[in-house]
Each structure stands twice: as structure tokens, then as C-alpha cells.
Amino acid sequence: MKQILLIIAVVALAGCGNKEETTPQSQAEPSPTPVVSTPKQETPNHEPLVTDKKPGTILWESEDGWWVSSPAIGPNGTVYVGSKGDWFVYALNGKTGAKIWGFETGSAVLSTPALGADGVLYVGAYDGKIYALKAETGAKIWESEIGSEIISSPALGQDGILYVGSNLSVYAIQTDSKGLAKSPWPMFGQNAQHTGRAPK
């Protein structure tokens, strides 16, 4: 009997000594360092702006036509010029160079247009014709055929007679204009005398 009680006591003591091993909780891995995105810097525009209008500064450039003739200038600053490459006469904004209108003739326009006081633009072309156009819109009013190439610039008198030279001849054509437009440069040479001096 004593032996049985001794065995029970030994077993009990052994059970009390076996503690359940606990696995230590693994430490949490440190969170990664947050990435802060840097805003993309805008590339500055280095294109030059025409703000300093010193003498010799190019203000604008027009590539609408193949310019050959000297321009005429209207009272509001509109520039009228003929083109050899595409046979057009153009009206351009004198401040920006933007095309206002274009009129197609039958051949190259080598001469300078003449602008009448009534707003009619007279243009000689290599197709042998003189064209009368509305300076504001470019619409054709009439045309007169000389028959030979026109290279010289027409001259407009105070009486409304338009003079133009072509193929060893000089032609006088009646118009409704009463002299030149009051503008800085209404025709080749600025005035009927072709003195080339703009009024002050």
C-alpha cells in the first residue's frame, strides 16, 4: 500500500514540474519607410517674346505666299502685297502678319498694288490684267485685260486715271477712284510722283 502511494506522489510531482513551453511571439517587422513622390518640375518656356521693340527687331513673319512685290499700306495699317509663287495678292494685318484675305490672279503678281481713296485696290499681274478689288474683302469689282505681261506698278492720279506700263507701252485706264488713299504708303513710291517719302 505504501508503495502505491509513493508512486502516485512521484507521478504528481513530475506533472507539476513539466511546464508548457510557450513560443515567444515573433517581433513585428519594421514597416518600410514611406516614399514621398516629388512633383515633376515644369520645364520653363524659353521662347522669346517680342516685348523690347528696339530698332531692327523682327515683329512678325508671314509665309503665306512667295513675296516679290513691294507692299502698299492702307489707312488702317493693312499691308497689301503680291505673290509670285501662288499668283495671289494678299491683305495682311500690319500688326500681327495674319492673313486677312487672298485673291488669286491668273499669273504671278510682281508689281506693287495701288490703293484708291474709295477703298479700291488696283493690282497688275503677269497674266496681262489689271484687277480692281475691294480692299476690305478682296472681292473683285472688275478686271481689264491689256494682253501683255504687267511687271511695272500702276500709278493712280488725282483724277482717277490709272497708269501702267507693259510691253513697251503705257496704258491709261479710267477708274472711279478720286486719287490715292490717305495712308502712309498707298502705292509704289508712296505717291503719284514716286518720291518715296511718307507724309509726316
Establish if 11 belongs to a structural domain. no
Establish if 105 belongs to a structural domain. yes
CA distance linking residue 99 with residue 48, whole number of Å: 23
Q: What is the pLDDT of residues 53-84, one digit of tens each?
A: 788 888 888 876 676 778 999 999 999 999 98
Mean pLDDT of the chain: 76
- Tally the domains of the chain: 1
Asked if the model's pLDDT at residue 135 lies above 60, the reply is yes
Establish if 107 belongs to a structural domain. yes
| Range(s) of the domain holding residue 128 | 72-174
Cell numbers describing residue 24 = 515567444
Establish if 198 belongs to a structural domain. no
| CATH number, residue 146 | 2.40.128.630
Establish if 2 belongs to a structural domain. no
Establish if 5 belongs to a structural domain. no
Contact 105, 125 (CB under 8 A): yes
Asked if the model's pLDDT at residue 43 lies above 60, the reply is no
pLDDT of residue 24: 43
Whole-model pTM?
0.67
Q: What is the mean pLDDT of residues 137-145?
A: 97
Other C-beta atoms closer than 10 Å to the C-beta of 56 total 5
Asked if the model's pLDDT at residue 91 lies above 50, the reply is yes
Q: What is the DSSP letter of 95?
A: T
Work out whether the CA dihedral 174, 76, 152, 61 comes out positive or negative: negative
